[in-house]
Structure 1
Amino acid sequence: MKRIGIYLRVSTEEQARIQDGSLVSQRNRLLEYIEFQNKREPNWGTLVDIYCDEGKSAKNMNGRPEFLRLLNDVKLGRIDLIIATELSRLNRSIKDFCEVWDLLKHHKASFVTLRENFDTTTASGEMMVFNLINYAQYERMQTSERIAANWLSRSKRGLFNGGTIPLGYDRNPKNKGELVINKEEACIVQKVFNLFLEKESLRKTQVALIEAGAFNKKFTNKNGIEKGGKVFSVDTLNSLLTNKAYLGLREVKHKDGSAEFIKAVWPAIVSEEIFNKVQERLSKNKNRYKPETWKKYPFPLTELVQCGECGKSLGGKSGTGRIEKHFYYGHPQLKNPLAKDHAHQCQVKNVRAPRLEEIVTRSLRALLNDPSLISKWIEIYQSKTTSELPEVQMQAKKLELEIQTTSKRITNLVQRIAELPTEVPAEAFYEQIKQMTQRMNELKLAKENLKTKEMDLRGQEVDQDGLKAKIENVLKNLEKAPKEKQRPIFTNLVKFIEIHPTKIKMGIYAPTKEPLKATGTDGNPSPRSENSILRENNEGAAVLPFSSKNPTRVGSSTVGNGAPPINIDTI
C-alpha cells in the first residue's frame, strides 16, 4: 500500500483567501483521485498527510515550509508517493526539480500529477517531465521579466509602484499610481524638518516629538490589520529626513545598482532649501558624533557579551569624555527614551571594553597557571551531564507519544473529510488539520532538540590536555594579533560571556578525546565537534573562583553541579 502525501500550492494570498478557490479545488480533486484509485485497486494507497503552501511561489524551495516538510517526510520514509494537481505546483525551477527528482529516486519514492500523466519509469517519460519543467521555468522567468519591465517603466514616469506610503501622503483613490498630500500628516513632516534644524540632533528631535505627541504614519494593511501609529525612533527619523519623496522626486533603481531621481507625479511637502540644510546638518553630525569607531576600536568580543539579567546582547559603543573617548559594551539604545516602563532595569548598564577583555584573557591564563581548576571544571561538567540524562530521555518519550497521538488524529480527520458528502463544507476540518500539523511540527522540532541534547549528555570525554593546548594556542594568537583581528580568535574558544553585577560567566568550547572529524583553519578542533562548558568568575579578581546554585566548598573555590554553571550545549 502506498503512503501518500498530497501537496497544494497557490502563488498569491488573494487566491489562498478565496473560500471556494484554487486550494479547495486542488484538495477536492486530489482526494477524489485517491478515492477513485482505491476503488479500482483495493488498498492502493492511504493518505498520510496534507501539505499546503498558501501564497508561495514555486521559483525556489526555501520559501515553502510545507514543501520542505514534505521532502523531509520522504527522507524519513513516511511518504513514498507525492500527488499534486500539476507539475508546476511542485516546481518551476529545473535546478530544484533535479534535486527533488534525485531525492525521490534515492528513497524509492515517486510522484503523480493529475494534469500530466507521464510514465516516469521510462526514458521517454522522464524526458517529457524534464521538458515540461523547463517550459514552466521559462514561463516564470518571462513573467518576471515583464513585471520588472513594467515597474521600471512606471518608475520612469514618476508613478508610485506600491509599498509603504510615506508619512504626509495618501494613495489617490482615482489613480493608485499617484499620491496626494494628507494635510494633517504633512504638518507633522514639516514640523520634523524644522525641529531637527532647531535641535540639530536626532535624539533631541525624537524627544521633542514624543513630548509633542507626534506619531509616525498609521495605516491598515491588506489583511485588515492596523500598523504604525507609534512614536518616532532615531532610525525612522533618519529615514524620514533623508527621503527625497518629500521633494516630489521618485527614485529609479537600475540593474547595475545605480539610482537616479526623477520628477514624481505627487507634489513636494518640503522645500529644497530646508531639505538641503537638513542633509548638511546630518552629514556634520555623522562626521562629528559618529566617526568610524570600529576602526579606532574594533570590539573583539562583539556578539559574545550578554547581560546576565535580561539576556540581551551587549554591543560595542563609544562615548566622549572630558579627556578621551571611552569604549564599552552596553545595552541597545532605547527606541523611546521617555518610556520608563521599557527602560533598562538591569544593574549592569555598560562595561568598559578594555577592562572586560583584560579580565577574559587574565582568567584564561589563570587556568593554565593552575591546572587543578581545569580538572574541577571538567568534573562539574561530567557530573551535570550524567544527572540530566534520565530527565531528557523521559521528555523525549513524552514528545514521541504526543506526536503519535496527533498524527492519528490528523489521519482520522482526513478520513472523515473523504467520507463527507460533497455538499457538506469541510473548511472546519481543514483548519483543525492545519493547526494540528503546525503543532506536530513544533513537537518534532522539540524532539530533535532533545535528541541533540541527549547526544551531548552522553557525550565524549573532555580532553584535558587538548583543552589546555587550545587555551595556550588562543592566548599566543591573541598576543601576536592586532586588536582588529582578535575577534575570530576569541570566538574559536569562547561561546559566551555573561555579565552580572558581581561576577562574569564564560562558556568555552572544550575538545573531546575521541578523534574529531573537522578542524578549524588555525589547526584547532572545530567548535562544532566540541563540548561547551562554562566557567564563572568574580569580576576584577586575578584568579576567579567557580560558583553555582547549591554550592559546595572546595578549598578557596566554590563549585557545584546545579544549573547554570555547566553549559552542555554543543555547536
Structure 2
Amino acid sequence: MIHRGSATLRSGTRTDQGRAATVTKRIGGYARISLDKDGDELGVDRQREDYTYYAAARVGWEIVRDYIDNDVSAYKKNVTRPEFERLLIDLKSGALDGVVAYDLDRLMRQPMDLERLIGIFEDNPKLVFGTVTQDYDLSTTDGRTMARVMVTMANKASADASRRIARKHRELADAGKNGGSHRAFGWNDDRVTVKQDEAELILKAHDDLLAGTRLSTITRSWQALGVKTARESVKPISRTAVKAILTNWRLCGYRAVKGEIHYGKDGNPVIAEWASITTPERVSAVREVLAERSEKFRNEGNTNGYRYLLTGVVRCAECGTRMVPKRRSDYIPGSKRSAFSYACPTKSEGGCGKVSRQGEALDSWITTLVHDAQAALLAAPHAEMPETFPGEARLAEIEAEKAEYLEARRSNKITASTLIALLEPLEKEQEQLKRDRNWFVVEKARAQDTVNLSDDFERLPIERQKAVIMKHVKAVIVHPVGKGARKFNPELLEIVWA
C-alpha cells in the first residue's frame, strides 16, 4: 500500500568543515488515476514505483512525501483533487523543493491547473520538476511553453473522449439499455434480473423511510448487517451510497441519466431492459420525503429532534413556546431522579422560562395515552384510504391534453407561442398533482404502519416512535405545577389530538 508521510523540512547537508556538500532536494511525488474500479490502488502504486526510481537516479533528490489522488479525474472541472491541492500548498510554502510524476497528464489535464503550477515555479525558479516519460523544465520559457502544449493536447484528448462516451451513453439511454460495466445494487451480475436479498433490503428501507425512519438509522442497520455496495467496497456502506440506492429511478424500471429520468422522443420516460423492483410512485414518494427532511434540517438544524420523543410537540401553557429537552448534568444512572426534562426556554431564548416537566414521566404518560387512543381507533369503524390516488384520472387527462396540443403544433394548427400558453398551466397543475400523489403514497404507508405499542414500540428507532405519537397527538400543553410541587401530575397536561 502507499505510504503518505509528511514533508521533511531538511534543506541540505554539510561536511564537518562547513563546506557545502550535495544539497538534498525535498521532492513531492504525485500519482493519479481517473478510475480505480476495484479500489486496490494498483495503478497509482505502479506510478509511484516508476517515479521513485526516476528520482533516485537524480543527484540529491529525495522523495519526502507521496501525494496520491486515486480514482480522481483531472479533467472534470467540478472535481477537487485533495492531494494535488496539498502539493501546491507545500510547494508554495517552501516545504518542498520540487515535484516528480510519472507523466505530465497525471498531474494536469486542465490548462488552468498548469498555470497555477507555473505561477509557483515563476515565483521560485529554484524549484525542480521531473516526469518519467519526458523532461520539462518549468523554470524556463521553453519548458513552460512545451508543458502548455502537452496539457492542451491532453485536455483535447479528454474532451474528445468525453464527447464520444457521452454520445454512446445517450444511445444506450434512448434504447433503455444498461451503461457501464458493473451491476447496480438490487440486480444480479447480468444487470437485468433482480437480486432478491438486496431487493428485499430496498423495499423494507422504503417502507421504513415512508413510516418515519431516518436515512441514518437505515444506514446503520445496513452496516450492522454487513451490507456492501454492488462493487463490494471494503469500507462500510455510507449514508450517501444508501441514499443513492434508495432514490435510483432504475428501481422502478426507468432509464436514468445522471440521476434524473431519461425521456424519449415521445416525451415519456424510457422503460429500461431490466426488471423493476418497485413502482415509480414509490420512488417518487421516497425522494419527496428525503428532500423535505433535508430542507427541514437546513431551515431548523435541530439535532435534538431525533433524540427525545416529544421534541416539537410539548408547549408551555404560560407563553405557548415549544419546550426544549434539557439533560441534567448531575444525573446519576440508576438513581430515581429524572435524566432530562422538557423546559420552556428563557426569555432571552424566546420563552418565559417558567414551566418544566420530568422527561421520562411525560414520555411514558403520552405513550400510554396514544396506546389507548390507537386501540380505540383500530376497534372503531373508520373509512379506508382509497387504493389509488384520487387525482390519477386528472393526471391522465392532462397527459392526453398535452399530447393533443403537441400534435396540433406539429400540424401547424397553432403557433409555438400558443402552444406554450396552453402547456404552462397544465404543467403547473400536473406538477402539483404529482406532489400530492407523492404525499398520498406517504400517508397511505403511514396509515398501514400499525404498531403494537405494548410489544413493538420500545424496539422502534426514536424517529419512528415520534411518527407514531404525532399521528395521534398534535400538541401537549404543559401547565405550571405551582410552588413546592414535585410529583408528576397528569391533570396539568392538556392534549391537543391530531
- TM-score between both structures, scaled by the size of structure 2: 0.45
Structure with greater proportional strand content: 1
- TM-score between both structures, scaled by the size of structure 1: 0.40
- Larger RCO, structure (CA 8 Å, separation 6 or more): 2
